[in-house]
Amino acid sequence: MLVRTPLFLAAEIQLKVAAPMALLSPETDSAEPSPLVALTRNPRKIAKKTLPVSGVDEYASALHLLDVEHRKLRTGFADHLGLTHNEYDAFMFIAEQRSTTPKELAATLRFTTGATTAMIDRLENVDLVHRIPNPDDRRSILIEPTPHGQSQAGWVISTYTRLAAEGVSTHATLTPEQLTETVTHITSIITDRIRKIAEDA
């Protein structure tokens, strides 16, 4: 049995690859669409008179903007490592798991066997991962990050840490604990919705 010590990016990676990203449940897909103002790229530009008292539209807009900017950040990480988006997802999954099998990687990223093999070859060629024998199954192999790969994954994590430190130190009203609670709260809601979508599929 593999023993894994996930890095703190585990939740983020799992959310990205475990199921289709969608926020609407099947029973709400046919409901009256919300005004597009809820997805404006700058929530601060929403006219106050268009918002409900609860502020739900502004919160939805802020979440959308966070997703847009985070995708740009991930693109920057991939570019820095010289990888495509899929290669970056595969590499960070391997780094986060510490040790995984081609079968697990394929299932998580929803790749075919051939595509997974080609992906591992590419990551191995740039010295980010390597293949080693699986001590628990002689018919299988394990994929693990190389020392260079660990260093590159560490760079990604340290960048996240610096961003978090800046967010905590510059926020005017919420404490670090309150900031963490707000992110954890919406993350759990998204995780539950993803699980429900997968169950209803």
Q: What is the mean pLDDT of the chain?
A: 79
Q: Which residues of 17-48 are buried (b: 16+ CB within 10 A; e: fewer)?
A: bbbeeeeeeeeeeeeeeeeebbebeebeebee
- In this prediction, residue 201 has a pLDDT band, given cuts at 50, 70 and 90, of confident
Of 23-32, 54-63, 165-174, which has the strongest mean pLDDT? 165-174
56-81 vs 147-170: helix crossing angle, rounded to 10: 150
Provide the pLDDT for residue 129.
96
Q: Quote the tokens at residue 191.
A: 């995780």
More confidently predicted of 30 and 171: 171
Residue 189's pLDDT is 92
Rounded to an integer, the average pLDDT of 178-200 is 91
| Residues above pLDDT 70, as percent of the chain | 74
Higher pLDDT pick, 10 / 73:
73
CATH architecture of 83-170: Orthogonal Bundle (1.10)
pLDDT for 28 beyond 60: no
- Summarize pLDDT for 30-79 with one digit per residue, the tens: 344 444 344 444 545 544 445 455 788 888 899 999 999 999 999 999 99
Confidence of residue 24 (pLDDT cuts 50, 70, 90): very low
Query: Phi and psi of 141, rounded to 5°?
Result: -130, 165
Q: Which amino acid type is present at position 70? A: H
Q: What is the DSSP letter of 86?
A: H
For residue range 110-150, what is the model confidence (pLDDT) as tens digits? 999 999 999 999 999 999 999 999 888 888 899 999 999 99
Q: Mean pLDDT across the stretch 162-189?
A: 91
pLDDT of residue 80: 93
- HEC string for 139-165: CCEEEEECHHHHHHHHHHHHHHHHHHH
